[in-house]
Amino acid sequence: MFKKGVRFDFWSFVGLLSLIFFGLFLVIPVIRMMVFSVQTGKAIFSFDNFARFFSRKYYTRALGNSIKVVSAATLLVMVIGVPLAYITTTFKIKGNRLINILVIISMLSPPFLGAYSWILMLGRNGEITQFLNRLGIELPSIYGFGGILLVFVLKLFPYIYMYTKGALKKVDASLGEAAESLGYHGIQKVLKVSLPLVLPTILAGATIVFLRAFADYGTPYLLGEGYNTMPVIVYQEWVSETGANAYFASAVAMIMIVIAAVVFLIQKWITSRKNYTMSMLNPIQPKQLHGVPNILAHAYVYLIAILATLPQIYIILISFRNTKGVMWADGYGFSSYINVFTKSLSSILNTFEFGIIAIVIVVVLGTLFAYLTVRKTNFFSKILDVFIMFPYVIPGTIFGLLLLMTYNQPPLVLSGTAIIIIISYVIRRMPYTVRSSAAILRQISPSIDEASASLGYGSMQTFFNVTLPVMVPGVVSGAILSWITILNELSSTLMLYVGRTQTMTVTIFQEISRGGYGPAAALSTILTLTMITSLLIFFKVTKSEDIDL
């Protein structure tokens, strides 16, 4: 086939494929956006867009709002999540496993559903608000800074909780004992030994929280009421009624990407300087607390778990309420579900169709790319590694915009197709699968590949016979995250959908926007149940009770 000395094998092919894939759907769109951001309709090159952004209060206020609410959320999330992780790993808490699963579920449901649920409870016409009003109690408004913060914190603290718990599980119990033998105990021990060891991980979690909150479009859109944030601005500029301005939207998007990238790089830099390796022999064994501390610990854990799950449960409950038009009616029944299945069946089917196609591609490419980045370290695989992780810093709204601006004109017109939505899902949700597959691959000695080669198998056969089977657990635990987050994807779909390609999340979002709370609740419940079912199947198959972030 190929001449001697030319080392073109299966992996060269995969490498080429990855470069084409990311080149088309990441590099070219990003370059296009960069170019757009320094152009106006008239000028080939100018900084007018940036000048306009920074000179108008409307925009600078949105930037300030974003940074304020996202920073506040990140800090609060650490204040809540770190103690929760510490308490649940160090002390015996009744119902620990159930709480863990509840927290995972609340983490994996899309933020805007939380916003929607809290509006129904605490909004102007919210049930709790009305109930308290009757008692003469006025609640502070849920709209604006406070409400967005509430939703962000309850939605995102699980990331810190999961990350910290994962790190604490890797801290050897004897380190704590050593600290005690040297005279440190109680809170001192925690602050001097445990906390510094897990700090890099907490920072990594905090970065994810920051980036997710910064990118979130649904929550500020629903709860902002004038409290604009950056993703809202990008969306508005793009679909502006006074004429879409792709150039200005690109400039705003670039500002967001730069901020996100800076935060991401700072975290990487700090983590790379503080990276501990620990010999792990004895994991921390949870201790039984007694008396008041025991009650306090339980109260704290339960309160957080209830607050985090409340929105989900509330949505499930009201999905069975009868409706009359867009209004609630008395009694309970399946009217919302009947409504949904007659009117919105196509969006349900779309979600599953796009989701299944996307997850198959994610798993296939993710596994191959993970192998490439771990085992074939060269210049190209390092670039590939950057490409794969890039979606972390690109908010969904902006990623949708990127694809749309590039592929809405010849030579390749993809706008309005299902393909463009699937591509967006694949690129945005692949990092979970790649990361987790790469993690397991790093633990497997490359010599098993070499052993297979020495026994006469080529690189492709070796991969499928030996490497892949060993990677499966890592691939599966990454794929479950990819799958659930694909189902929940809203922000880029919102940019990319047309009537035919509407998904469940888009329909829910539209229903909420126009006040159709019944169908929204029914669809959300279907989504939540799909997610829970997927998780339970995952737990059953992998015999685990946790997911790895």
Partner 1 sequence: MAVAIHIKNVMKKYEDNVVIHNLTADMQPGELFTLLGPSGCGKTTLLRMIAGFNSVEAGTIAFDDQVINNIPVYKRNFGMVFQNYAIFPNMTVYRNIEYGLKNKKLDKQEIRRRVAEIMETVQITQFKDRYPNKLSGGQQQRVALARAIVVQPQVLLMDEPLSNLDAKLRIEMREAIREVQKKIGITTVYVTHDQEEALAISDRIAVMNKGDIQQIETPESIYSRPYNTFVAEFIGHSNRFLGIVEGQESGDTLIRMQTGLPIRVKNVKPLARGTEVLVYVRPEEFIFTDEQQGMKATVLVKRFLGKYIHYVMDCGTGEHVEVTADTSSAERIHQPGETVYLGVNVNRVNLFDKEKETTLLEGVESHV
Give the residues across from 332 on adjacent strands.
321
Residues 6+ apart with CB under 8 A from 247: 36, 37, 39, 40, 41, 49
Cβ proximity of 371 and 434 under 8 Å? no
3-state secondary structure of 91: strand
CB 7 to partner 1: min, Å: 8
By CB under 8 A, tell whether 541 contacts partner 1: no
Residue 159 φ/ψ, nearest 5 degrees: -60, -50
Residue in 275, 256, 259 with CA at minimum distance from that of residue 200:
275
CB of 485: closest distance to partner 1 in angstroms?
29
**Smaller CB separation from partner 1, 298 or 376:** 376
Helix (H) or strand (E) holding 413: strand 412-413
Nearest-angstrom CA–CA distance, 525 and 91: 34
Q: How far apart are the first and last CA of the chain?
A: 43
Smallest distance from partner 1 to CB 473, Å = 11
DSSP string, 266-313: HHHHHHHHS-------SPPPPBPP-HHHHHHHHHHHHHHHHHHHHHHH
CA-CA distance, 60 to 230, in Å (whole number)? 9
290 contacts partner 1 (rule: CB under 8 A): no
Q: Smallest distance, Å, CB 451 to partner 1?
A: 4
User: Minimal distance in Å, beta carbon 459 to partner 1?
Assistant: 8
Cβ proximity to partner 1: between 24 and 470 the closer is 470
CB atoms within 10 A of CB 32: 16
Helix (H, G, I), strand (E, B) or coil at 409: strand
Query: Should residue 450 be labelled a site residue for partner 1 when binding is judged by CB under 8 A?
Result: yes
| Interface segment toward partner 1; rule CB under 8 A; list 211-219, 233-241, 273-281, 443-451 | 443-451
Which C-beta is closer to partner 1: that of 462 or that of 524? 462
Kindly state whether residue 10 participates in binding partner 1, applying the rule CB under 8 A. Answer: no
Site for partner 1 contains 75 (CB under 8 A): no
Q: Which of 137, 458, 529, 544 binds partner 1 (CB under 8 A)?
A: 458
Among 1, 4, 330, 499, binds partner 1 (CB under 8 A): 4
- Of the residues 16, 448, 498, 529, which one makes contact with partner 1 according to CB under 8 A: 448
Shortest distance in whole angstroms from residue 486 CB to partner 1 = 28
List all residues 6 or more positions away from 289 whose beta carbon is below 8 Å from its beta carbon. 91, 92, 297
Q: Is 454 in the site for partner 1 (CB under 8 A)?
A: yes
CA distance 501 to 110: 19
Choice between 188 and 465, CB closer to partner 1:
465
Which H or E run contains 496?
helix 491-496
Residue 290's Cβ-count burial label (10 Å; 0-12, 13-18, 19+) is exposed
Question: Among 528, 416, 459, which Cα is nearest to 107's?
Answer: 528
* Residue 310 interacts with partner 1 (CB under 8 A): yes or no: no
Q: What's the closest the beta carbon of residue 379 comes to partner 1, in angstroms? A: 12
Site string for partner 1, 381-400 (x = CB under 8 A): --------------------
> Nearest approach, Cβ of 272 to partner 1 (angstroms)?
23
Which of 139, 356, 451, 536 contacts partner 1 by CB under 8 A? 451
Hey, what long-range contacts does 128-134 have (CB within 8 A, 24 or more apart)? Answer: none
Q: Which of 67, 310, 453, 532 binds partner 1 (CB under 8 A)?
A: 453
Query: Is residue 529 involved in binding partner 1 (CB under 8 A)?
Result: no
Site string for partner 1, 459-498 (x = CB under 8 A): ---x--xx--xx----------------------------
Among 74, 452, 503, 525, binds partner 1 (CB under 8 A): 452
Q: Does 316 bind partner 1 (CB under 8 A)?
A: no
Distance CA 210, CA 248 (A): 24
Question: Does 455 participate in binding partner 1 (rule CB under 8 A)?
Answer: yes
Please report, as ranges, the residues that interact with partner 1 according to CB under 8 A.
4-5, 444-445, 447-448, 450-458, 462, 465-466, 469-470
